Structure 1
Amino acid sequence: MDKHIWEEFVELERNPKQIERCEKNAEYRSMQTIRHTLGRCSYSNKQYKLDEESNVKVVPKATTDKWLMGHQRPDGSVHPSAIEAHKKVLEAKEKNKGKGLSSDDHLVSPELEEVFPCKRKDIIRGYSSTMSKKQCEMAAVASAALQNRDTDHEERMQAIESTMGIVVGKMASFQTLLGMLGGKVDSVIQMMIANAAAQGPISTPSPEKGSTTYPAGVHSRVMETEDSAPCTLDVGQPVQLLDNVGKVVALGSIVAGVTVHGRKVKPNERKVYIEQVYDQKALVWDAPQGDGYVVLSQLSLPTWLIWAEDRLVGLLNS
């Protein structure tokens, strides 16, 4: 970097002409009343997208029409700072139209030149002396984008309100149906509560064998043997494998090891060598295991599996 650049910078900032130019630019910027942003999408590309979405030219071709549209709000009202100028431009357009003149093919608008007189090299100005012709076009595109967004929001809200009306109607019908059923539903519920209280839980008759309490009708499916183990499961001990409702689905034995088919045995699990399957449709614990085993019918017996320790019932060696 040039070591004298800061000297030039200070000298430039102290230059009276530069100071006057900066003040003038700051005044112009403060007078601009439209500041639209479309993210990374350019105004030309946004105009193309708007035209493609609606299949019509949402942004007019003529510079005069772009200026008029760019100074209107989504509700059709004119921006307060442009009311007088907007009226003059409309009058000039109607006057030229009465003469049979059209500005559609003109890059520079005759109406704007008439209302905002200036030299052609100085560019047409819009709101005041701070709005260029390009900024008028950008304002028109932004205005069209806002109108398009508001229309989309209105259509979505109408669809949501229609859906909510249908849902409310169905809820009212459902409440009416519940009211009609009223007494019958209460009778059924009371009957179910009475039956459940009368039936109660069923337990194994021998607590010293490490029995467990199951819901009524489930415990009868557990195989009762005289060799039920106390609580601990040792390596080599025969075990019954239970499913999630306490039904015996397979027979095997505890084996040593911390991995099965590349999977680590967790503290609440045991490695089991399965020799016999009683229920082919029973689900494998924490499936899939091995080669994608999900049900016991997929096993090639004998084989090893991981099973939850609280779903194993130990049998004493005969």
Structure 2
Amino acid sequence: MSIPLSPRTSPLPADDWRICVAPMMDWTDRHCRYFHRLLSPHARLYTEMVTSAALVRGRQLRLLEHSQQEHPVALQLGGSDPHELAQAARFGAAAGYDEINLNVGCPSDRVQSGRFGACLMREPALVGDCVKAMRDAVSVPVTVKCRIGVDDQDDYAGLQHFTETMLEAGVGVLVVHARKAWLQGLSPKENREIPPLDYERVYRLKREFPGLVVVINGGVTTVEQVRAHLAQLDGVMLGRAAYHDPYLLAQVEAALYDEPLPQRDEVLRHLRPYVEAELARGTAFKHISRHLLGLYQGEPGARAFRRTLSEGAHLPGAGWALLEQALAPCSVAA
């Protein structure tokens, strides 16, 4: 699909990891990513995790759909079979993704039962084999997203050994969620909140491996925090904050790249061609509008904006007119 983006769009450096939006299950689908691209021309976007089995055995290549305007965009894969991951990486590269990222950080029971995600922190040699197989299969960067530790493996030495193994496998970019994962006893939600953040451990990693591009993830919610991390690291990956308050992406973009800060309604109006094209191909409006709910977070009219979209998006015929209706209280407040 080719839909014109905002005039704010600028050239996207392929090797820039300064600002990234995390892969988030059930959230960072193609509609979400298109919206985030309007807010941030430079952010590196990531898909939801796609299992290698779904692509190779299930042949669900529809999971690779994305628009050309999303670039740079990375495909995140989950799996632990080197041969299968290599084939899945080939599919991703053929579909046009700029990067293939291996998930070594998800703590959910479902992921553990498939022997991938955070449990692979205990098997760095296997992860290295997976990375080597993927790198041999594709020419785009193969990166890894991990935790600082898992369960009782909670010291710097474990992260150091994992990193050394990744470097030996040819990894040039490591995204580190600065919390360890408890695989037993905590839910995925609790694993995003309860284990304490240890930013210093990630900083130390960068000091000891200066040639490695290190991107930090976890607990970043403000432009000031982004700036502070970038003083010591190569990149920052925003997660839930960028989803629940997406205007944060525009604010970070303006701060880091000297881009003008757009008005929120301006962003939505640039989204209109995409919305109308998707409706024409049969996409339900609710699948797009759910990603917009936080755009006016903290602003006058935000509650009415969310309520109008939430209550009307599932109704037959919902489309751009509903978005205009939702915008009305925000325009009055402005």
Greater length-normalized contact order (CA 8 Å, ≥ 6 residues apart)? 2
> When the two structures are superposed, what TM-score results if normalisation uses the length of structure 2?
0.15
> When the two structures are superposed, what TM-score results if normalisation uses the length of structure 1?
0.16
* Bigger-Rg structure (1/2): 1
